[in-house]
Structure 1
């Protein structure tokens, strides 16, 4: 992997491992590399192949979903000298149902303590590393904390409008990218997958987030939400000019 090229892709500088450097890398990744499932919707196969993922995200200026984004970001972190490994998580959907077990990929990074790092959870991805032991973190009006459930399992919880909602339950057991093969296939082909029904694109900004789901564009700026319905032409313009994506590439 060309580390310099990857850092340029996310507008980051080469710095020694530290909490502040890690937080900056996570923030810049979320602001420059969108979460997107455009390949899934267009039946373009996604393989857990590092070279293919690197080419897509870094060289072709694309985004991806969790296996691609967190898989590649984990490699960047280890190349930069961080002690980190992939972990699996089970998503709790907004309707209260658990998704297929262990089909979300995230990262644990070990500094003075272990931190959850995630750059691939769409519109509710935490913006900064979250410590595993109960400390609440707030950034741009979004509040997260982690609650330990067993010796090896933890819940990521997001607070919004005074309500706590569990986003996913994860294990601290080390995983390799290949361990997510079944989940990667499931999330590309199953009708029970969140990603096989409509386009989903999300990116963070300095003041909030921008999300596109099908033809609905949602902008959150300083806690204020605005939704707009887009025509096909407006959607293509938005993909290119807001998310730096082009349907011609997918």
Structure 2
């Protein structure tokens, strides 16, 4: 876990309080990329804490929600936070909900009794800081205005960003093994967006940087810049320079030979 803290550029907090949680989430988002490269490299996705830590800490990789929040949960528990795993379903086109166990988010209890908090380092472009789980009004964040809305008929919670629902959460705590079917579906189903395209993205102090296929997209203070990359060497260099990912071959996008 000390190596994990070094990976995200953080020191071990003196107390597992809300300020420490805010700093840890922000540092995680800025250092560990949201990426689906394992799907396109033919790598297994193993939802066990030891395997997740080996990938993110030892191999210096990123992952998607199950991996990122699964590993982050282990770090937070080691630091003295209380952590529960919550299953969510993302809202797609036309407001259609995704599959059960579509998303993994974290409910975090802190030592200063300010929580509980909804922490999330695995939803890609999302809030920078944890959200107050029991707050039903607007919550301002550098990424926008967030609101947690109760769903009357089920007791579930919808997380909104700037008035648009992002995902629906159940309140019942889960275990990491419960998410295996969701991870398998996202890895293999043609209905999932993950097998259809390669993406690697992380938050930066000025905005966000994303590598999708052969296109590098940087957003700096709201201004978007696109840079096409000429060849495989340039793409591999971009993974290394911007995300710290040292790859010996490119992930294979659909239609591209391995």
Same fold (TM over 0.5): yes
Match of residue 97 from structure 1: 96
Cα offset for 1:77? 0.7
Give the 3-state SS of the residue equivalent to 2:218 in structure 1: strand
1:72-83 alignment runs, 5 A limit: 72-83=71-82
Residues 191-241 of structure 1 deviation map (CA, whole Å, 9 limit, x = unaligned): 111210111111011121112222222212112222222233332221110
Give the 3-state SS of the residue equivalent to 2:53 in structure 1: helix
Distance in structure 2 (CA, Å) of the matches to 1:114 and 1:152 = 17
Match of residue 159 from structure 2: 156
Distance in structure 2 (CA, Å) of the matches to 1:175 and 1:6 = 24
Asked whether the 8 Å contact 1:152–1:173 carries over to 2, the reply is: no
Asked whether the 8 Å contact 1:41–1:195 carries over to 2, the reply is: no
**How does the TM-score come out when normalised to structure 2?**
0.88
Asked whether the 8 Å contact 2:126–2:143 carries over to 1, the reply is: no
1:16-165 alignment runs, 5 A limit: 16-111=15-110, 112-122=114-124, 124-132=125-133, 133-150=135-152, 152-159=155-162, 164-165=163-164
Cα offset for 1:94? 4.6
Cα offset for 1:171? 1.2
Cα offset for 1:93? 1.9
Match of residue 254 from structure 2: none
Unpaired stretches in structure 1, ≥5 consecutive residues = none
Aligned residues: 243
Give the 3-state SS of the residue equivalent to 2:248 in structure 1: helix
Asked whether the 8 Å contact 2:127–2:143 carries over to 1, the reply is: no
Unpaired stretches in structure 2, ≥5 consecutive residues = 252-258
Larger radius of gyration: 2
**How does the TM-score come out when normalised to structure 1?**
0.91
Give the 3-state SS of the residue equivalent to 1:242 in structure 2: helix
Match of residue 166 from structure 2: 167
Match of residue 201 from structure 2: 202
